[in-house]
Structure 1
Amino acid sequence: MIPFNKPYLTGEETKYITDAVASGKISGNGKYTQKCQQFFEDRFGIKKALLTTSCTDALEMAAILINIKEGDEVIVPSYTFVSTANAFVLRGAKIVFADSRKDHPNIDETKLESLITSKTKAIVPVHYAGIACEMDTIMDLAKKYNLFVIEDAAQAIDSYYVGKDGVKKALGSIGHLAAFSFHETKNIISGEGGLLAVNDEQFIKRAEIIWEKGTNRSSFFRGEVDKYGWVDIGSSFLPSEVIAAFLWAQLENLDKIQSVRKQHWEKYQNNLKTFAIDHNVALPVIPDYATNNAHMFYLVCQNIEQRTALIEKLRKQNIHPVFHYISLHSSPFYEGKHDGRNLSETDRFTDCLVRLPLFYELNVDTVLNQMLY
């Protein structure tokens, strides 16, 4: 069976983990944590990066930082993982679900303004498959209505947005805050793991406090205060040095990993064009303003029956494709809270999108041979 995903190891992970253990500091915020954080700040232009135990934790930190409270509204795409919405629900927010674009599962930026009310506090664009949302429009709306933008960049490491001004910006560096994932299904992994990107300086000091269980411990160790104590709400969001050491081995090899994944993605795209026409399925769309980080390759079928048949066919040939999100607005938890709007594109992607295997060591030719011959 060709699996949907297989974690790639660079060979340096255990070496760095051993080094972290030997250092005598494995509880977090040590050498490897700082190396990983500095990497994101230097390479992607993030003002302050903080490692977390998951992308979910990073989103929950973001919800605390913007002071989400009961009655606030947060606009979130319905076609996303539950953590995108749950982080704000935990703080008492009402989720207002937005539909996807027709050409891509990303949030439809043209429909956002109609969803904004006096209670709206934030917009959370999700860069699905590592492909940028139309961030100029989103940031303009945020400025117009005094809203926060929190990028869910879980899938978007090393992917970029080219604005109307021609400036190329890393995803995760544009919104006020952003969250990355290093789950084993992502391009760069640490098993579990995430990162909060702070791009608005007003949040930097408080982010460190929330990250350290609500204490000013980081300031104390930098010598900025003579003692530390409990000064705000927070939780145990920072990961151990073992996780950070594993992650550092991956980050050191980012360019190598990305190069191979992009080769796989391009081979799929180039060889499935005729298949797509013959079977009336759609290939991924990369807008002019977005780059491709080869996080995912997917097909969009005409209906759920066609998708089910395709999945069954490939599994019989020892290939393991999978579908993706179930619309959050129709989930058992939230369907009674949704305002009843028809989110037709979200539902279409729920029924029709299928993801093909994509990982570093994949032999794409094997998959293509089974699909095409």
Structure 2
Amino acid sequence: MNPLIPFNKPYLTGKEAHYIYQAVYSGKISGNGIYTKGCQRFFEERYGFKKTLLTTSCTDALEMAAILANIQPGDEVIVPSYTFVSTALAFVREGAKIVFADSCANNPNIDADKIEALITERTRVIVPVHYAGIACDMDKIMQLAEKYNLLVIEDAAQAIDSFYKGRALGAIGHMAAFSFHETKNIVSGEGGMLAINDDRFADRAEIIWEKGTNRAQFFRGEINKYGWVDTGSSFLPSEIVAAFLYAQLENLDDIQRKRKEIWGLYASGLAGLAEKGLITLTDIPDYATNNAHMFYIVCRDLDTRSKLIEHLKASNIHSVFHYLSLHKSDFYSARSGKTASLPNSDHYTDCLLRLPMYFELTHDNVRFITKEIVDFFNDPS
């Protein structure tokens, strides 16, 4: 039996423990210290975000964005159904009605051409999710936002170091949320970040981040005391988390180079199956770049995917399906009393398969995985 090839393995650069040690002995480990500020400065300078705030998770970043958007009970938020629950849940917590949109026919991103029909007088926010780090059609989405006076909050959980027409994902909408969960390109175990690109939200975001207080202004010497001035929560991660992340950021270019090599090997090894129509590979529009967050294939039907998963499992290869359409979830169905018809989202739910993708995956590993997939389709029985 071949050694197990896991679906994911977090990469350590070698500096994480050293920086955590420094953070611990700095005398400030509660957050917003030198490593928090260093990470935030890195993102602002490299990608052009106007302001960034590290958070304990991408979910928290989305919840901050929902508060900043001033969502009121009954307001409507347009969200793709093919996404993680946090994309919708952050707004549900503020009382929003979620309006689910279908994916594109050729990739899992929200179909920008179908959004306008979903907009009503109660719509407040559009939340594009850049699935697999591949950009949604942001020009169309931003034009709709301007036409109907809506906010755009990018769910860029998978989209670090990826671009739309030369602009960093997360720098286009009014706000954006990123994830540094251990399955992402750069990681801190758990962790996230809110990026703010509209000056209207910058000052209040910092207050919400600091539990509804203006403590950050106090520490900068801008006020002589701080107090409770707004809503908020404990969104700020510890300095230990930021120290871990900082080590990853120092190695971002090397991490990205290796991940793209792996992605390219998968693509070349499976191109023949795609040409025969046996699987579909990732569609990357001309306006988008590929950050190699994941490598996925789309099978023709659920039965084929299920059998392929078992075939790979028998060879000690761990592959996984991804999201279940949120519009068919028990939570949503019980509250909405109806189920929308979103065939593309359902297709990805049934047919999309994610393959192992991590820094330490070797070229031989990838060749072995692709060989097993090719062998399966040559003899799927």
Q: TM-score range by the shorter chain?
A: over 0.9
Q: Provide, for residues 191-250 of structure 1, a one-character-per-residue CA deviation record: whole Å limited to 9, x for no partner.
A: 000000000001000000000000000111111111100000000000000000000000
SS at structure 2 position matched to 1:121: strand
- Cα RMSD for the two superposed structures: 0.9
Deviates more, 1:278-287 or 1:189-198: 278-287
The answer as to whether partners of 1:160 and 1:170 remain within 8 angstroms in 2 is: yes
Taking the aligned partners of 1:289 and 1:190, their CA distance within structure 2 comes to 30
Report the equivalent of 1:42.
Answer: 45
Q: Unaligned stretches of 5+ in structure 2?
A: 376-381
Taking the aligned partners of 1:180 and 1:288, their CA distance within structure 2 comes to 23
The answer as to whether partners of 2:56 and 2:237 remain within 8 angstroms in 1 is: yes
Report the equivalent of 1:165.
Answer: none
Report the equivalent of 1:84.
Answer: 87
Alignment counterpart, residue 143 of structure 1, candidates 124, 143, 146: 146
Shift of 1:279: 6.2
Report the equivalent of 1:352.
Answer: 351
Deviates more, 1:188-197 or 1:361-370: 361-370
Shift of 1:80: 0.1
Report the equivalent of 2:368.
Answer: 366
Shift of 1:340: 3.4
Amino acid at match of 2:373: M
Mapping of 1:78-157 within 5 angstroms?
A: 78-157=81-160
Shift of 1:365: 2.1
The answer as to whether partners of 1:329 and 1:338 remain within 8 angstroms in 2 is: no
Residues 338 and 133 of structure 1: CA distance in aligned 2, closer, same or farther (over 3 Å): farther
Report the equivalent of 1:255.
Answer: 253
Normalising by structure 2, we get a TM-score of 0.95
Shift of 1:280: 1.3
Amino acid at match of 1:73: E
The answer as to whether partners of 1:314 and 1:371 remain within 8 angstroms in 2 is: yes
Report the equivalent of 2:262.
Answer: 264
Taking the aligned partners of 2:295 and 2:315, their CA distance within structure 1 comes to 19
Shift of 1:351: 0.3
Taking the aligned partners of 2:305 and 2:367, their CA distance within structure 1 comes to 21
Mapping of 1:293-332 within 5 angstroms?
A: 293-332=291-330
Q: Provide, for residues 296-353 of structure 1, a one-character-per-residue CA deviation record: whole Å limited to 9, x for no partner.
A: 1101011100100111101101101100000000000002316533100000000000
Q: Unaligned stretches of 5+ in structure 1?
A: 163-167
Taking the aligned partners of 2:13 and 2:368, their CA distance within structure 1 comes to 23
Taking the aligned partners of 1:367 and 1:38, their CA distance within structure 2 comes to 39
Report the equivalent of 1:3.
Answer: 6
SS at structure 2 position matched to 1:64: helix
Report the equivalent of 2:378.
Answer: none
SS at structure 1 position matched to 2:357: coil
Q: Provide, for residues 38-59 of structure 1, a one-character-per-residue CA deviation record: whole Å limited to 9, x for no partner.
A: 0110000000000000000000
- Counting aligned pairs with the same residue, the percent is 67
The answer as to whether partners of 2:135 and 2:169 remain within 8 angstroms in 1 is: yes
Taking the aligned partners of 2:84 and 2:24, their CA distance within structure 1 comes to 34
Shift of 1:368: 2.2
The answer as to whether partners of 1:96 and 1:338 remain within 8 angstroms in 2 is: no
Report the equivalent of 1:65.
Answer: 68
SS at structure 1 position matched to 2:331: coil
**Structure 1 runs (4+) greater than 6 angstroms displaced:** none
Taking the aligned partners of 2:194 and 2:43, their CA distance within structure 1 comes to 10
Shift of 1:86: 0.1
Is 1:236 aligned with 2:239? no
Report the equivalent of 2:23.
Answer: 20
Amino acid at match of 1:60: E
The answer as to whether partners of 2:269 and 2:367 remain within 8 angstroms in 1 is: no
The answer as to whether partners of 2:133 and 2:159 remain within 8 angstroms in 1 is: yes
Aligned length: 368
Report the equivalent of 2:280.
Answer: 282
The answer as to whether partners of 1:84 and 1:152 remain within 8 angstroms in 2 is: yes
Taking the aligned partners of 1:183 and 1:13, their CA distance within structure 2 comes to 15
Residues 77 and 338 of structure 1: CA distance in aligned 2, closer, same or farther (over 3 Å): farther
Report the equivalent of 2:197.
Answer: 199
Amino acid at match of 1:372: V
Taking the aligned partners of 2:236 and 2:96, their CA distance within structure 1 comes to 24
Normalising by structure 1, we get a TM-score of 0.97
SS at structure 2 position matched to 1:95: strand
